[in-house]
Amino acid sequence: MSEVSIAKRKKCENCTKQCNKKNTDEVVDSNPEPEIVNGEVKDASQVLLSACLSCDGCLSEEDSLKISKQSLEEVERILELNQRCDVSKHKVLVASVCPQSLPFFAVKFGVDVTEAAHKLSGFLKTLGVKFVFDTTLAAGFSILESQKEFIQRYRRRNQDAHALPMFTSSCPGWIRYAERVLGSLVTPHICTARSPQQIMGCLVKDYFSKQQKLSPEKVYHVVIAPCFDKKVEAVREEFYNSLLETRDVDCVLTSGEIYYLMEQRKVSVEELDSVPLDQVLGEAGDEALVRHDGRGSEGFLEHIFKHAAKELFGLDIHEITYRTLRNRDFQEVTLERDGETLLQFAAVYGFRNIQTLVHRMRKGRVPYHLVEVLSCPGGCLSGRGQAESESGGRVDKALVQQMEEAYSSLPVRLPEVNPALHILYQDWLQGHDSSRAGKLLHTKYRDESQIHTQPPHMQW
């Protein structure tokens, strides 16, 4: 089975066969098989929000063509060209690994996260990848910029009806749904900070390529991520440089696709060399693997909550207590002083919970200042590009628990105290509040809901 077909088959929230969004005029089978959701029999001619997001049926032919090139075959084609063609036509391959992918390899390899990162780096370099990074540094930028934007939004909340609540922007599944279905109801509320993946794209194609004295189009940048929707994010038009004809991220491969390649090649983990990850700043970089605070998805909620408590109210918060509402994937965090609620945040994961959030928002009953929104139940570690059971269709809960334990074993470091970030803000971005920082670390989201109207048979 090709990697493209794998990507089309496996979807967040168990995308069902009945979805025919692209062909809305097709006649629905008069005897569709019933679908059981939460113990209830549902009409198979209806597609539930919880069962659908950005399957290939939602994509234009142009989008489908772009995403079809995000495959193992395409990476192997680039590697083969490097071996055959003139040196002047070579592309330098750079791989960036998401921190949420490393626990997957740690569990599969039977080693700790640091050793898994080194083994993965060793494997990628045997393929012909020149540099291997992890994206924690880029996530640090995204967190700091999100913190700054929340403070700005909070302070103008009384003058700007769209300032709050602020929705996080790191999940492409959520962003795609927000733009295409919800439109102006939520797009003005989405944080403009780029996701860690796309900031890493800028770091590689703008900063690092210059350090290596390479033109950006000479660099082929691969991101290894836990989620198929990251492929959709990589092909967004705002992340394409038409002048140089290059993308910030040329190809996204899921953790599962990389592991599939290792199995194809019958790679023995024991025989792989342990090669430390490369550093964007070279020797000045920090070689120790760290993680950000939070629940395994970079911890945007916790970082922004603690920062806002200090910046707005002078309160130092060391521990955050989550209060479970509907389920484990719908929780809230509240900051109170003298009986007054100062801040109220929520973590909303999975489309069943997102549906509840949107319903409340339409009725004007969302009390939150910030909502961390992720399309995958359980967050990024549960991304369908790595957490699906071998039989397919369902998340492997035992695997996810092992990944959570592996991820939590990494030491935590606040991005505020990362010296590499401060160096890059000055050397690369010309300051924290520069126009260059605004251009490279932020993006815009658009209302496409009128362009992509939902078919009449889809029950949201």
Per-position pLDDT tens, the chain of length 460: 333 333 443 443 334 333 444 334 333 333 333 333 333 333 333 333 333 444 445 566 666 777 777 888 888 888 888 888 666 778 999 999 999 999 999 999 999 999 999 999 999 999 999 999 999 999 999 999 999 999 999 999 999 989 999 999 999 999 989 998 888 899 999 999 999 999 999 999 999 999 999 999 999 999 999 988 899 899 898 888 877 778 999 999 999 999 999 999 999 999 999 999 999 987 654 567 888 887 777 789 999 999 999 999 999 998 898 998 878 899 999 999 998 999 999 999 988 899 899 999 898 888 999 999 999 888 898 888 898 877 666 888 899 999 999 999 999 889 999 999 999 999 999 999 999 999 999 999 988 876 544 433 333 3
Report long-range pairs for 209-217 (Cβ below 8 Å, ≥24 apart). Answer: 211/282, 212/92, 214/92, 215/244, 216/241, 216/244, 216/246, 217/244, 217/245, 217/246
Type of residue at 155 = R
The predicted structure's pLDDT at residue 421: 94
User: For the whole model, what pTM was predicted?
Assistant: 0.85
CA-CA distance, 38 to 406, in Å (whole number)? 30
* Sign (positive or negative) of CA dihedral 198, 199, 202, 205: negative
- Which strand (E) or helix (H) includes residue 408? helix 397-408
The predicted structure's pLDDT at residue 28: 36
CA-CA distance, 167 to 371, in Å (whole number)? 5
Q: Helix axis angle, 113-127 relative to 102-109, nearest 10°?
A: 90
Are residues 101 and 132 in contact, defined by beta-carbon separation less than 8 angstroms?
Answer: no
The domains found in the chain, sorted by start residue, are 49-441 (3.40.50.1780)
Place of tokens 């194609």: 205
CA-CA distance, 72 to 364, in Å (whole number)? 46
